[in-house]
């Protein structure tokens, strides 16, 4: 019954009804190249909607630290810039990339700017909300979704939960030791 309800909600939101895992979705890199999530099969992925002019923007430091500490252990950190909350990501993809690299030394993958809420949300975000529930949808910048190696959503972490918190790191450690 839950599967039917999730499929119905995904249809209503405009998400692909047949999507079963994050591997069914694709983004575009900040440089304009295809970024299929299927390339991350076998790896855990932390998908984070980001913004350059937010009070939480310093979380880029924690995201970069996670990337540095876990990339060789099977974690991908994927930043998805979004201008949905307080218009705090108004720039172009090129400007966002320059900001992230020069201000926070970001080397983890960045997607192109996307919408992460509402009817125009990227299909991954529609699917995540339908799968975990609307209460787990992004309410602000730096919302985090943790995806398992099998592409299934494992957890959602609210904006205020720091990337290097025991909750986030514990969930990552749990996935990487399986």
Residues with Cβ within 8 Å of 74's Cβ and at least 6 positions away in sequence, in order, are: 42, 43, 44, 149, 176
Verify whether residue 54 is a known catalytic residue.
yes
Q: What is the largest CA-CA distance in the chain?
A: 49
Q: Give the residue among 95, 66, 71 at the shortest CA–CA distance from 83.
A: 95
Active site residue: 17, 24, 26, 54, which one?
54
Asked if residue 44 lies in contact with residue 175, where contact means CB atoms within 8 angstroms, the answer is: yes
Q: What is the DSSP string of 46-110?
A: EEEEE-TTSTTTTHHHHHHHHHHHHGGGTEEEEEEE---STT---S-HHHHHHHHHHHH---S-B
Q: Give the residue among 55, 43, 77 at the shortest CA–CA distance from 164.
A: 77
Q: What's the DSSP call for residue 35?
A: E
Active site positions, annotated = 54
């Amino acid at each position: 019954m839950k599967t039917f309800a999730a499929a119905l909600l995904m249809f209503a939101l405009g998400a692909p009804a047949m999507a079963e895992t994050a591997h069914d979705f694709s983004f575009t890199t900040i440089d304009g190249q295809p970024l299929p999530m299927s390339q991350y099969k076998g790896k855990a992925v932390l998908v984070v909607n980001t913004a350059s002019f937010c009070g939480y923007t310093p979380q880029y430091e924690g995201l970069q630290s996670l990337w540095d500490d876990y990339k060789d252990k099977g974690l991908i950190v994927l930043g998805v810039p979004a201008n949905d909350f307080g218009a705090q990501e108004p720039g172009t993809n090129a400007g966002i990339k320059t900001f992230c690299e020069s201000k926070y030394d970001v080397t983890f993958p960045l997607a192109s700017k996307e919408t992460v809420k509402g009817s125009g949300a990227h299909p991954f975000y529609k699917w995540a909300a339908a799968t975990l529930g609307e209460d787990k949808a992004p309410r602000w910048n730096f919302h985090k979704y943790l995806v398992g190696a099998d592409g299934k959503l494992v957890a959602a972490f609210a904006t205020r939960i720091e990337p290097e918190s025991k909750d986030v790191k514990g969930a990552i450690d749990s996935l990487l030791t399986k």
